[in-house]
Amino acid sequence: MSWAITRQDLTDLAYGAALLGSGGGGDPYIGRLMAERALDRGRTVKVWDLDEVPDDGLVISTAMMGAPTVMVEKIPSGTEGVGALRALEEHLGRRAIATIPMECGGLNSTLPLVVAAEAGIPVLDADGMGRAFPELQMETFHVFGVPGSPMAIANEHGDVAMVMARDNRAMEWLARGICVRMGGAAMIAEYSMPGAVAKRVSIPGTLRLGIALGAAVREARRLHRDPLEDLAGALAAASYHGPRLLFEGKVEDVFRQTTEGFVKGHARIRGYGPGDTMRIAFQNEHLIAEIDGKPLAVVPDLICILATDTAEPITTESLRYGQRVKVVSISPPEIMRTPEALDVFGPAAFGLDVTYEPSCVG
Amino acid sequence: MSWAITRQDLTDLAYGAALLGSGGGGDPYIGRLMAERALDRGRTVKVWDLDEVPDDGLVISTAMMGAPTVMVEKIPSGTEGVGALRALEEHLGRRAIATIPMECGGLNSTLPLVVAAEAGIPVLDADGMGRAFPELQMETFHVFGVPGSPMAIANEHGDVAMVMARDNRAMEWLARGICVRMGGAAMIAEYSMPGAVAKRVSIPGTLRLGIALGAAVREARRLHRDPLEDLAGALAAASYHGPRLLFEGKVEDVFRQTTEGFVKGHARIRGYGPGDTMRIAFQNEHLIAEIDGKPLAVVPDLICILATDTAEPITTESLRYGQRVKVVSISPPEIMRTPEALDVFGPAAFGLDVTYEPSCVG
């Protein structure tokens, strides 16, 4: 059933998006402010359930791509999202009936709401990653064979490029080069598809999930309960498993490099007792959490670093020495754990020589 | 008067293009082979004088962009030139009536002939640089305010990107990033304009000039004359001045780096007598020739390094230790020496703190 986003939804979503961002996707705070501004200006953000979209209507995915470290300083002007959408529509000679988030984590949970509000179309309660991933082919859309091209990429100066690539990996490669030249972050519109296809290849309910996670934590805080328990209920309702507490400690060291349109690096977290240290590697998002070389969780499982006192998720670009944190993992829905899906965004896709085992299932 | 390119024209043009390439533009040998292959396959390369193009006909500039060092190993498949042209035509919703070379030097003298043959349209006897330059805004088209966007860039895999940039410098910046991701060399179609505009903003007769230069050297060799004298006549007929012999010596050292979609570096040439050494800096093309820090010639003057025994031009990617060479300069037509033109491709445009003085005029 279609509904309209409220201010409370945006606040809750900012939390849920940061959690589902798994350390990446960019700080949802900026996206929340942009969506709030759209509401301030009298716009409505209408949400359609996935099954509401007409089968023959054109759905276009919108998002920001680039390094979250860049997005902290190079804030979207607000026009480039619609700019990318319009450029792709013009190329296709057809208007989109709705936009679908590329990912449901970080900044990219709320930016499609802004695009929807500005373009006057609904946003679908679904996405193509079920979390955040760093690369454009790491999508369930891609797993199910939807071509990402033609795609549009736009910046705050009004520059637009269209990429028509032979496959989705080549699209990522070329678009990343453009993104870097646009300053390391840019808005994109991609994976245009009929509603009937979107229903088949998307992860449903992830916008509601993000809001529900935020609402659960808000309620837990009000009642002085441990938020982790409340998160479990919201996750289970959307076929996610967890969260599981992997580790507690203090951030001891962070190595972080903004390179090739990504932020790449790793963090070391020292436990409070003697002995164990957890190492977490990331490429925009956290990829693997290990102790003494033994992985406790690995992609596509979500690895989230939460501030111990507030349970606020800490993104890779905000991670710093001295933070007291809990590291939790979440296992995604079955659709994201098939062999076909693991080929696209499992450990090997990131060059990790590790076999994926869901950390919160069974 | 329109005419058709012959095999002899191609051989002569390969020489003239190498000379006008001013060390850059890529080795014309490959372009000559591609054009010969088109003739072998029964295609015709029809040439129009600039004044023959209908005022309202669409003219599109075609070229290869990238580092000449890359083009030596990554040879065009032959389809990407027409691929770029067709992508731009599709975007514009209009077919080109003719193509115009972006530059009249190196590989880019002959590649538009291949595009013309394959697309079944004429090529104009004119260009936008009057020589070769490394960047896309270094065009008389740009000097006279023609937007280079939308532009298409295509590779040998069938990947195509369209760039719609806010200005021609941003176009160069974004397209260069794509070019690098395409492996450092790619085919482009850009500066679409009506015939009436092309007549106003182009340098006429540079295809004939390239052929005439080659024919002059061929004739000089046949008669065992010094080719430099014969070149002077052909250049003067097209309002170029020179050549002037700047230096003779042996290549002593070459520093060459393929970086950011260009080949950049410098060469040192030691004179045969005691004392003087010439230093030549290049970015794809030779930029400045100096002795003891005193410039003898600087862009937009053409600086050409010729093999002493054959008068064959040596491109920056072929320059190596031990070559015996003559360094000559040529001053381009007046249209390329105006203050507006010097802003775009004079010394300051390359970061050189030197005042331009034509080395062969007055």
CB pair distance less than 8 Å for B174 and A178: yes
Q: What confidence category does residue B169 fall into, taking pLDDT thresholds of 50, 70 and 90?
A: very high
CB pair distance less than 8 Å for B165 and A180: no
Cα angle: A103, vertex A104, A106; to 5 degrees: 95
- Residue A1 has a pLDDT of 78
Helix (H, G, I), strand (E, B) or coil at B167: coil
On whether both B39 and B182 belong to a single domain, the answer is yes
CB pair distance less than 8 Å for B157 and A176: no
On whether both B200 and B289 belong to a single domain, the answer is no
Residues of B in contact with A181 (CB under 8 A): 173-174, 176-177
Shortest Cα distance from B316 to chain A (angstroms)? 26
On whether both A200 and A311 belong to a single domain, the answer is no
Helix (H, G, I), strand (E, B) or coil at B214: helix
Into how many domains does chain A fold?
2
Q: Is the pLDDT of residue B273 over 90?
A: no
Per-residue tokens: A198: 């979107």
On whether both A66 and A9 belong to a single domain, the answer is yes
Q: Is the pLDDT of residue B362 over 80?
A: no
Assigned domain for A158 exists: yes
At B197-254, the pLDDT tens digits run: 999 999 999 999 999 999 999 999 999 998 999 999 999 999 999 999 999 999 999 9
Per-residue tokens: A201: 């290849």
On whether both A45 and A136 belong to a single domain, the answer is yes
Q: What confidence category does residue B27 fall into, taking pLDDT thresholds of 50, 70 and 90?
A: confident
On whether both B190 and B302 belong to a single domain, the answer is no
Total residue length of chain A: 362
A163 and chain B in contact, CB less than 8 A: yes
B177 and chain A in contact, CB less than 8 A: yes
B145 and chain A in contact, CB less than 8 A: no
On whether both A182 and A302 belong to a single domain, the answer is no
Question: Any idea what the CATH number is for the domain that residue B166 is in?
Answer: 3.40.1610.10
d(C-alpha B128, C-alpha B344), whole Å: 12
Residue among B87, B174, B176 minimizing CB distance to A161:
B174
Task: Return the minimum-mean-pLDDT range out of A197-206, B110-119, B270-279, B285-294.
Answer: B270-279
Distances (CA, A) of A255 to A258, A263, A282, A315, A329: 10, 10, 10, 14, 21
- Residue A273 has a pLDDT of 81
Write out the residue range of the structural domain in which residue A151 sits. 3-204
- Residue B15 has a pLDDT of 95
Which of A156, A162, A260 to probe by mutation at the B interface, max B CB count within 10 Å?
Answer: A162
Residue among A91, A170, A176 minimizing CB distance to B159:
A170
Question: Any idea what the CATH number is for the domain that residue B288 is in?
Answer: 2.40.390.10
On whether both A97 and A162 belong to a single domain, the answer is yes
Residue B74 main-chain phi, psi, to 5 deg: -105, 85
On whether both A23 and A160 belong to a single domain, the answer is yes
What is the DSSP-derived secondary structure letter of residue B130?
S
On whether both A195 and A260 belong to a single domain, the answer is no
Shortest Cα distance from A163 to chain B (angstroms)? 4
CB atoms within 10 A of CB A228: 18
Assigned domain for A224 exists: no
How buried is residue B126: exposed, middle or buried, by Cβ count under 10 Å (0-12/13-18/19+)?
Answer: buried
On whether both A171 and A307 belong to a single domain, the answer is no
Of B204, B228, B257, the position where a domain reaches its end is B204
Assigned domain for A231 exists: no
User: What percent of chain B shows pLDDT beyond 90?
Assistant: 90
Shortest Cα distance from A74 to chain B (angstroms)? 18
- Residue A195 has a pLDDT of 98
Assigned domain for B222 exists: no
Q: Is the pLDDT of residue B148 over 80?
A: yes
Q: Is the pLDDT of residue B275 over 80?
A: no
Shortest Cα distance from A268 to chain B (angstroms)? 33
d(C-alpha B331, C-alpha A271), whole Å: 72
CB pair distance less than 8 Å for B162 and A158: no
Assigned domain for B20 exists: yes
Assigned domain for A358 exists: no
Residues of B in contact with A177 (CB under 8 A): 177-178, 180-181
d(C-alpha B357, C-alpha B286), whole Å: 16
Assigned domain for B266 exists: yes
On whether both B165 and B258 belong to a single domain, the answer is no
At B61-107, the pLDDT tens digits run: 999 999 888 888 888 888 899 999 999 999 999 999 999 999 999 99
| B25, B109 contact by CB (below 8 A) | yes
The label of the residue with tokens 């360094």 reads B327
Q: Is the dihedral of CA A298, A304, A308, A314 positive or negative?
A: positive
- Per residue, the 3-state secondary structure of chain A, as one string, reads CCEECCHHHHHHHHHHHHHHCCCCCCCHHHHHHHHHHHHHCCCCCEEEEHHHCCCCCEEEEEEEEECHHHHHHCCCCCCHHHHHHHHHHHHHCCCCCEEEECCCCCHHHHHHHHHHHHHCCCEEEEECCCCCCCCCCCCHHHHCCCCCCCEEEECCCCCEEEEECCCHHHHHHHHHHHHHHCCCEEEEEEEEEEHHHHHHHCEECHHHHHHHHHHHHHHHHHCCCCHHHHHHHHHHHCCCEEEEEEEEEEEEEEEEEEECCEEEEEEEEEECCCCCEEEEEEECEEEEEEECCEEEEECCCEEEEEECCCCCECCCCCCCCCCEEEEEEEECCHHHCCHHHHHHHCHHHHCCCCCCCCCCCC
Of A204, A233, A252, the position where a domain reaches its end is A204
Residue among A159, A170, A182 minimizing CB distance to B164:
A159
Of B204, B228, B258, the position where a domain reaches its end is B204
Each residue's pLDDT expressed in tens, for chain A with a length of 362 residues: 799 999 999 999 999 999 999 999 888 888 899 999 999 999 999 999 999 999 999 999 999 999 888 888 888 888 899 999 999 999 999 999 999 999 999 999 999 999 999 999 999 999 999 999 999 999 999 999 999 999 999 999 999 999 999 999 999 999 999 999 999 999 999 999 999 999 999 999 999 999 999 999 999 999 999 899 999 999 999 999 999 999 999 999 999 998 888 999 999 999 998 879 999 999 999 999 999 999 999 999 999 999 999 999 999 999 999 999 999 999 999 999 999 999 999 999 999 999 999 999 97
CB pair distance less than 8 Å for B160 and A157: no
Residues of B in contact with A176 (CB under 8 A): 181
d(C-alpha B119, C-alpha B2), whole Å: 17
Assigned domain for B133 exists: yes
Shortest Cα distance from A147 to chain B (angstroms)? 13
Q: What confidence category does residue B277 fall into, taking pLDDT thresholds of 50, 70 and 90?
A: very high
- The pTM of the whole model exceeds 0.90: yes
